[in-house]
Amino acid sequence: MKSAFQKISRVRGWAGGTKWYLSDDCLLSAKRMMYTIEYRRFYLRDLESITVWPSRMWKLRVIIPTAILLTVAGLMWALSDNTPVEITTAAIFGVLGLCWLARELALGPMAHARIRTMGATVELPLVRRTRRARKVLARIDEAVCGTRTVAQQPATSVAPPLSAQSAPQGSENAVPISDLTANATQTSGS
């Protein structure tokens, strides 16, 4: 049996994480904290907005580890007796610092997200990095548009339009459109 929910995102954390699932009518978050799981359901028809923005602390995540690793490498290099082991260790710390910098710059900034529905506003991590947000938001937007177009379709069937041959030639009850719009503007108080 195929599940109605499709996993669209996963954000890991130190003590758990959040997984996001999408179905035909709702967005479900499963937030795991140690040994418990908290579920939140957001109905697509009630969604007002989902906002994703980059974290301000992301720059510190790049700068601090890189600076520490490069400082350790520089100190080991400067204070070494030029033995191969000390120079190799300093080079390893330097390469680790540069690799950390390159990795963080390639992955981009960390992300925060806010989901606003008719009844509540919730801040939950939707994606880990902002570069992935477009892809996830596009899938959610597609589902929301699909839900709203189904809800707006009329429940009754519409009769097919009359063909030119079967249409009445001159109706006594026909009113020109200009008269209808003139009546509407007069009643609206303008």
- Compute mean pLDDT per 10 residues along the chain, 190 residues long, and list them: 75 84 87 88 87 88 92 89 87 94 91 87 86 86 78 52 46 42 43
Closest CA to 48 of 136, 135, 117, 149: 117
Structural contact between residues 100 and 106, judged by C-beta atoms closer than 8 angstroms: no
Domain edges within the chain: 6-55+109-147, 58-107
pLDDT at 150: 64
pTM across the whole model: 0.61
**What class does CATH assign to 6-55+109-147?**
mainly beta
